[in-house]
Amino acid sequence: MGDQPNNQVLEPGNQVGFLKEPSSLSIQFRILTSTNYTIWTVKIKAIFKVQGLLEAIEPRTGTVVDSKIDRLAIVYLYQAMPEALVMQVAHLSTAKEIWDALKTRFVGVDRVREARIESLQHEFDVLKMKETDTIDDFSTKISQIASKASNLGEPFEEKTLVRKLLNSIPRKRYIVIVATIEQFADIKTMTFHEAVGRLKVFEERFGDEDKHVSGKQEQLLYTYEEWKAKSNQDWHHGKGKMGTESSQKNKGKGKVVDREKKEPRVKKDRSKIKCYRCDELGHFATSCRFFKRRPG
């Protein structure tokens, strides 16, 4: 058997761990404060992953962390903490214990955690995009809330973030692209970053043109609705049916409407008509009792 590498460390349980050589690049740690815990943990995890130290604070089940890895992780954590806080956790012997103590301190116990989750959920529900916001601005606000919820152990699903994004942006400005996404894309499988990218392409390509387009579309829809409402109103009031309003009004009043001239004709008063056969009033000669019809 060949010699084992110098950086190979045997661990209990016949498991092997490797300690990577420290990078020659200087690493700048952001100091933990009372307000930046969420982003601080993200950056610490990224550094630990690159340096091969992530298992010191997130060990796999059934494994024992190598002492060299653990001591180096503690040094890194001390560099990223204020001196007052270092003194408060100096009695802890492992990086995992320090990490958990910080999490308890800044995230809080279960009751505080639940209250923070409820607060984030409310903030997420009422969040709306302002007219002055860009897609980048608004998507960043959503991402920040999602990141905080994830650190509390309650991450939002991708489809929830996508639906929130599409439902919260001004429809007048983005009605075209939102309708396209909803019609041709599968929102259930679309990622949040993909939705943001599609909206940004639309925003950058059309700029303020989308405002004019949506305005014209809204005006056309409104004009159509007005026309439709007026048509229904006219139909219920008798317009569009057989005949005209004047014929309906004049019906039964002794006047006949001339369809050609559209002028009413008054019926003659038969009481003043004189029969030229019997010289009596009230009838025509054709209806006179003395009138003799020619045999058929």
pLDDT tens, N- to C-terminus, the chain (296 residues):
444 444 433 333 333 344 444 444 567 788 998 878 888 999 999 999 999 999 999 998 888 899 999 999 999 999 999 999 999 999 999 999 999 999 888 877 667 888 889 999 999 999 999 988 999 999 999 999 999 898 888 899 999 999 999 999 987 888 888 888 988 888 889 999 999 999 999 888 876 554 455 444 444 444 445 556 666 665 555 554 444 444 444 454 545 445 545 555 656 666 777 776 777 777 777 777 766 555 54
Closest to 151 in 3D by CA, of 61, 42, 76, 34: 42
Angle, helix 110-126 to helix 95-107, in steps of 10 degrees: 60
Provide the b/e sequence for 259-295 (b: ≥16 CB within 10 Å). Answer: eeeeeeeeeeeeeeeebeeeeeeebeeeeeeeeeeee
Domain ranges across the chain: 8-107, 110-210
Per-residue model confidence (pLDDT) at position 49:
93
Q: Which residues contact 22 (CB under 8 A, 6 or more apart)?
A: 51, 72
Q: Which long-range contacts (CB under 8 A, 24 or more apart) does 192-198 make?
A: 192/139, 192/142, 192/143, 192/146, 192/158, 192/161, 192/162, 192/165, 195/161, 195/162, 195/165, 195/166, 196/135, 196/139, 196/165
Calpha distance 103→195 (Å, rounded): 32
DSSP-derived secondary structure for 140-183: HHHHHHHHHHHHTT-PPPHHHHHHHHHHHS-HHHHHHHHHHHHH
Consecutive H or E run containing 264: strand 264-266
Per-residue model confidence (pLDDT) at position 229:
65
Tokens 């019997």 identify what position?
278
Per-residue model confidence (pLDDT) at position 287:
75
Q: Are 105 and 89 in contact (CB under 8 A)?
A: no
Helix (H, G, I), strand (E, B) or coil at 232: helix
Helix (H, G, I), strand (E, B) or coil at 15: strand
Per-residue model confidence (pLDDT) at position 163:
94
Per-residue model confidence (pLDDT) at position 137:
94
Other Cβ atoms within 10 Å of 107 Cβ, number: 17
Q: Are 107 and 38 in contact (CB under 8 A)?
A: no
Closest to 174 in 3D by CA, of 117, 233, 129, 114: 129
Per-residue model confidence (pLDDT) at position 14:
36
Distances (CA, A) of 62 to 54, 56, 66: 16, 13, 13
Q: How many residues make up the chain in this entry?
A: 296
- Read off φ and ψ for residue 294, nearest 5 degrees: -70, 140
**Amino acid at residue number 174:** Y
Tokens 């050609």 identify what position?
260
- Read off φ and ψ for residue 239, nearest 5 degrees: -75, 140
Per-residue model confidence (pLDDT) at position 111:
77
Per-residue model confidence (pLDDT) at position 28:
78
Calpha distance 144→161 (Å, rounded): 12
